[in-house]
Amino acid sequence: MVREFPPPPRAEQFSELIKKRVEEAKAAGGTRETVTVDWNGQQIHVDVVDLPLADLYLNPGTHRIRAQRTHKPDQDRNLDTDPFGEAGQDYLRCLLQAMPSDPELRDPAFDKLKDDLREFGQNDPGLVTHHGVLVNGNTRAVALRELGKQSMRVGVLPSSFTQADIDAVELALQLRQDQRRDYSYINRLLAMEEQAALGRTPEQIAKEFRIRTATYHQERWILSVIKELNDRSASGGGVALRLVDWEGAQERLKELQRLYVKLENLDRDQAEILKERRLAAILLHFSKTDVRHIDEVFLEEAYLEKVLPAELAESPMAAQPESVSIPGLDLDVPAASSAVSAARALNDRILRAAATVRNTTAGLPDSEKASAQALLDQAREAFDRAIDSHGRDARIRKRKQLAPARLADACASIDQCVIELVQARTSNSLDEEAFDEAVLKLQSSLRKLAQQAGRGIPNPGDGVSWLLAAATAEGTR
């Protein structure tokens, strides 16, 4: 849903100043500077004026830091309560210059933007509402203030624009390919969700974000999973994971979605267990290549269960019912299997521990955080051992299959050679000398293969027995 914000302090006075500046720009004659804005499927041109930086407000509804706002829940709530107050604006300033994946750190991209503004000045104008709230250029405004600049060039949106219009304009501007600092992944997901809440179709949203419709549905699935996990991480109404905690997991989440959809049609329970295992590994900061080892074989061979500590394996669970009733419909559907419930129970403990460790608000005792960190360390060690064991076994299986796979390729090549030989003889185009030389090379290769097969296979099957007999018969000629 679109969040409506109250007018900022001194809104009417600033609106009068903006009107005066726009009128002065029109009366000055000559070519006026304007900025083109995409709105409602058309382009409009708004006047650009110079406004004092100190009087401009950072936009509390900007999509650029929507996920990062949850970094400090208490300050996020304060920003909701007083979006244009000093504390709220200072929180926005901190987030706009921070790394999307870790708001505690300063983003090198922000410093790069700041250096560019210092050397070349402001090339492109920002965009403000008629009350002086920045729609585009929030990050530039923060950088210009740090550089000690007193004013900023901005285009002024019409006073008739609603909050929905303002949000649409911001999205259109930020989704252009020439922007220096793109939205972070989670913020793009939130922007898509917001557009869907406005009643836009998946096809319209996909076109707006320059992605395929299938990708849009993938992104919506990922966001729903993230929100579900954040809800599950809250223990008794306590601390919970934040949206910002999932920044940087884009590729791992997309690979999970693709594999989940593939398995869901074959075995729903296996798909659910794999989802829980992979999400736990993502939360424990395993790399993309490590997470890939959590596949169907990983589940079938129970690699994790073999190394899971007893205190983690014995996750507290209530007895699982065989079916669950749907209220109001008098229907019963099968409940989750015990294996799925066990996977969810373990993941819930990891989620709650991660939420406790990553909590940035005061109030949690150090002992509670230490206990949660110990659980995460145990879980990571178990996952690490299981993934390493599966990877090692996979490499062994691959080595075992290399020789048979090579031979299968050779057989396919020989079958193709038979077809081409027939065609060459039919057209009387066979190079008999070259073919004879190739057959001699085949003979030599088969002898070498028979020699090695005779050494390495103590109880040869029918195929290897034939190869050895053929090589022996060849040697006696």
Query: β-strand 126-128 against 134-136: which pairing, if any?
Result: antiparallel
Take residue 225 and report the two structure tokens written for it.
């999973």
SS3 sequence of 293-338: CCCHHHHHCCHHHHHCCHHHHCCCCCCCCCEEEECCCCEEEECCCH
Distance (Å, whole) CA 325 – CA 446: 66
Using a 10 angstrom Cβ sphere, with 0-12 exposed, 13-18 middle and 19 or more buried, the burial of residue 389 is middle
pTM reported for the whole predicted model: 0.65
Distance (Å, whole) CA 98 – CA 108: 9
What does the chain come to in residues? 477
The beta strand positions in 150-197, using DSSP E, are 151-156
Distance (Å, whole) CA 67 – CA 245: 9
Q: Is the dihedral of CA 27, 32, 37, 43 positive or negative?
A: positive
Distance of CA 422 to the CA centre of its chain: 54
Looking at residue 324, its pLDDT comes to 45
CB-based contacts of 409, cutoff 8 Å, min separation 6: none
* pLDDT tens digit sequence for 294-336: 999 999 999 999 999 988 876 544 444 454 454 554 555 454 5
Cβ density class 32-65: b for 16+ within 10 Å, e for less? eeebebbbeeeeeebbbbebebeebbbbbbbbbb
**Nearest alpha carbon to residue 6 among 103, 117, 131, 115:** 131
Cβ density class 147-165: b for 16+ within 10 Å, e for less? eebeebbbbbbeeebeeeb
- What is the identity of the amino acid at 159? S
CB-based contacts of 210, cutoff 8 Å, min separation 6: 175, 177
User: Of all helices (H) and strands (E), which one includes residue 221?
Assistant: helix 213-233
Query: β-strand 151-156 against 126-128: which pairing, if any?
Result: parallel
Which residues are bridge partners to 331 per DSSP? Answer: 326
Take residue 63 and report the two structure tokens written for it.
């999509």
* pLDDT tens digit sequence for 340-369: 999 999 999 999 999 998 887 767 788 888
- What is the identity of the amino acid at 113? L
Using a 10 angstrom Cβ sphere, with 0-12 exposed, 13-18 middle and 19 or more buried, the burial of residue 117 is middle
Q: What are phi and psi of 36, to 5 degrees?
A: -90, 130
Domain boundaries, the chain: 1-182, 205-317+335-395, 396-472
For the chain, list residues with pLDDT below 50: 1, 177-180, 316-321, 323-324, 326, 329, 333, 335
CB-based contacts of 341, cutoff 8 Å, min separation 6: 317, 320
Distance (Å, whole) CA 80 – CA 429: 82
Place of tokens 């604006």: 89
Distance (Å, whole) CA 330 – CA 326: 6
Per DSSP, the three-state class of 375 is helix
**Nearest alpha carbon to residue 230 among 116, 115, 359, 327:** 359
- Alpha-carbon distances, residue 21 vs 8, 10, 29, 149, 171 (angstroms): 19, 17, 13, 19, 26
User: Of all helices (H) and strands (E), which one includes residue 34?
Assistant: strand 34-39
